[in-house]
Amino acid sequence: MTDMPPTEIRTYRTADEEEWLRCRVLSFLHTAYHDDVVQTKPVRPAASVELVAVRGATLVGILDAELDGDTAVIETVAVHPDHQGRGVGGRLLSTLLDRLREQGVRRLDAWTRDDPATLAWYRSGGFTDHDHYLHVYADHDEVARLALAPLDARTHHASRPASVPKVTAVVRALAHADPADEEGLRAEFRRVHLCRRFTRPVDTPG
């Protein structure tokens, strides 16, 4: 049996982009973010930390965080399904915390939905959840239930240049809602997610 190469955590490189995208897509595939697909890696501001985990020549994990003063926010964290449960995510988080301490960041936030394994990972990493709201997805047969205001009224059609084309119908929508209405919304819509903000102090060991 061949020994598995050790995991190396390093800064993201432009040449990593294709593997970064594949890792993200496959990691999200069976989660509440399964349709959050990007075809190019988002360009992060200068005040960011972008990490990858590699084993030999294989990229197995990714983590991007953006900094704003003394707070950082995790924008993406993912581990390839073939390498989950082996401590890759923990290594990425630990390295991120070290980088944030060096830059004087005091708090790390993350927003996520209601996947049990993801929630458990954040809690095991020292995060606690605070703010909550709902993501409500309405498909073509559900959109009317959102009682959306007329598009022309919402976009001030009268003041729009004539060259701007009209949208004639909404066939799919993402709405935000109060968690107090969760039971009723789940009775009306097939896809409702509780979105929550996790946070932890940076100066506490990961």
Tens-place pLDDT, residues 30-57? 999 999 999 999 999 999 999 999 999 9
Contacts of 153 (CB under 8 A, 6+ apart): none
Q: pTM of this prediction?
A: 0.86
Percent of the chain scored above 70 by pLDDT? 87
Distance, CA of 36 to CA of 111 (rounded, Å): 14
Please tell me the distance from the alpha carbon of residue 132 to that of residue 113, in angstroms, as a whole number: 10
Closest by Cα among 68, 88, 111, 69 to 199: 111
161-180 pLDDT, tens digit per residue, is: 666 667 677 888 999 999 99
